[in-house]
C-alpha cells in the first residue's frame, strides 16, 4: 500500500559511480513505499571530488562533498539530495533537514582490501592507503611496522592504484564495495580492531523544511533502527566535536528498539600517548552521553584535533 504521494522529484547527487549507485538504491527504496515516485538526477562534481590532491581538512572538511548539493536544494533546482551520512557535517544548514535514512545491507564496517587478505598477513613495511586519520591510527595500532600513506579519490580510482602496485592494501568502507558489487578480495575489521566512522554505510535524504509532505513521508518510511543509529552516533560525535581533523570512531549497534537497547562503541585518539576505546550497552541516550563524557574525560581533554601525522 502506498504510504504517501511523492510524484516526480529532482534528486541532487554527486557524479561518482558510488554516489550514483547509492542514489539509485535510495530511489528504489522510495519507490517501494511510494509507487507514484519518479525521479531524475542532477549531478554535481563537488569540491571534495575535484581537489583530490589536497587534504580534506584544507578544503572545508566533510562539507566539501555536500555544499553544491545543498545549494541546489536551497535554490530549488532540486527537491531531494542523497548523501552518505558520514560525509555530512554535524552542523546542519538552515532551511534543510535530513528526514530519510536508509542503510540497505547494513554494512557499517571498515575493510582491508589486499591480496594478503588479513592485516596479520601483511609483510612488514607494507604500504597502506587511506585518507582517514581514524583509520590510519587504528591500523597503525595493530601494525606499527607498516606504513600508511594518504590516498583520496573515488573507490575505483583508489582500487586502480592498488592494482598498479602503488599500495599493498587499502582501508575502505564495506558498504561502498558491496554497493558497487566489486569482486576485490577483502577482510572485515572486527570492532575491537577498528571502530567505524559515525553514520558509515547510512544514506540520508535531505529536503527543504518547507516541503512538509515529503519530510513527513521520509520520516514515516525510515527504518527506526537506522534512524536511531544515525541520531545516537551523531550525538556522541558532537561531544568530541568530531570532524576530518579528528580520529573518532562511533558505532551504535541497535540491539532492540522495544525496549531500546544500544551497544555503543567509541574510539578516540588525540596522539599516540592519548588513545582510548570503550564500549557499553545503554537504554537511554542521555545516559550514554554522560558515560561518554566521563569515560573520555571530555571536560578536561579535547579530542577534536588528532595530532598524529603520517606520510
Q: What are the counts of helices (DSSP H) followed by strands (DSSP E) for the chain?
A: 9, 13
Q: How far apart are CA 161 and CA 159, in angstroms?
A: 5
Q: Residue by residue, what is the 3-state secondary structure of 128-168?
A: EECCCHHHHHHHHHHCCCCEEECCCCCHHHHHHHHHHCCCC
**Which listed residue (87, 211, 223, 241) is catalytic?**
87
From the CA atom positions of the chain, what is the Rg in Å? 19
Q: Are 143 and 163 in contact (CB under 8 A)?
A: no
Q: Residue by residue, what is the 3-state secondary structure of 176-244?
A: HHHHHCCCCCEEECCCCCCCCCCCCCCEEEEEECCCHHHHHHHHHHCCHHHHHHHHHHHHHHHHCCCCC
Instruction: List the grid coordinates of 65.
Output: 562533498
Q: How far apart are CA 215 and CA 217, in angstroms?
A: 6
Q: Are 73 and 45 in contact (CB under 8 A)?
A: no
Question: Which residue is associated with the grid cell 551520512?
Answer: 85
* 211 given a catalytic annotation: no
Tell me the residue ranges of DSSP E strands in 20-173: 38-44, 80-84, 96-102, 110-113, 127-129, 147-149, 169-173
The residues that are catalytic are 87
Amino acid at each position: 500500500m502506498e504510504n504517501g504521494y511523492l510524484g516526480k522529484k529532482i534528486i541532487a547527487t554527486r557524479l561518482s559511480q558510488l554516489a550514483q549507485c547509492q542514489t539509485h538504491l535510495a530511489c528504489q527504496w522510495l519507490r517501494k513505499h511510494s509507487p507514484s515516485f519518479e525521479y531524475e538526477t542532477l549531478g554535481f562534481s563537488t569540491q571534495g571530488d575535484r581537489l583530490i590532491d589536497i587534504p580534506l581538512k584544507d578544503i572545508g572538511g566533510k562539507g566539501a562533498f555536500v555544499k553544491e548539493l545543498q545549494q541546489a536544494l536551497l535554490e530549488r533546482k532540486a527537491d531531494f539530495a542523497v548523501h552518505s551520512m558520514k560525509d555530512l557535517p554535524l552542523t546542519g544548514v538552515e532551511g534543510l533537514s535530513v528526514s530519510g535514512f536508509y542503510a540497505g545491507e547494513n554494512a557499517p564496517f571498515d575493510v582491508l582490501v589486499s591480496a594478503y587478505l588479513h592485516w596479520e598477513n601483511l609483510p612488514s613495511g607494507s604500504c597502506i592507503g587511506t585518507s582517514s586519520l581514524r583509520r590510519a591510527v587504528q591500523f597503525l595500532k595493530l601494525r606499527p611496522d607498516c606504513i600508511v600513506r594518504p590516498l583520496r579519490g573515488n573507490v575505483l580510482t583508489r582500487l586502480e592504484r592498488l592494482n598498479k602496485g602503488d599500495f599493498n592494501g587499502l582501508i575502505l568502507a564495506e558498504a561502498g564495495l558491496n554497493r558497487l558489487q566489486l569482486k576485490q578480495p577483502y577482510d572485515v575489521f572486527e570492532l575491537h580492531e577498528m571502530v567505524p566512522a559515525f553514520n558509515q554505510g547510512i544514506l540520508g535524504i535531505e529536503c527543504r523544511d518547507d516541503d512538509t509532505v515529503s519530510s513527513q513521508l521520509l520520516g514515516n518510511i525510515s527504518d527506526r533502527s537506522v534512524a536511531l543509529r544515525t541520531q545516537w552516533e551523531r550525538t556522541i560525535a558532537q561531544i568530541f566535536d568530531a570532524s576530518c581533523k579528528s580520529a573518532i570512531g562511533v558505532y551504535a549497534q541497535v540491539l532492540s528498539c522495544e525496549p531500546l537497547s544500544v551497544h555503543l562503541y567509541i574510539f578516540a585518539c588525540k596522539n599516540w600517548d592519548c588513545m582510548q576505546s570503550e564500549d557499553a550497552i545503554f537504554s537511554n541516550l542521555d545516559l550514554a552521553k554522560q558515560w561518554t563524557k566521563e569515560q573520555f574525560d571530555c571536560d578536561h581533554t579535547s579530542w577534536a584535533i588528532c595530532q598524529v601525522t603520517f606520510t
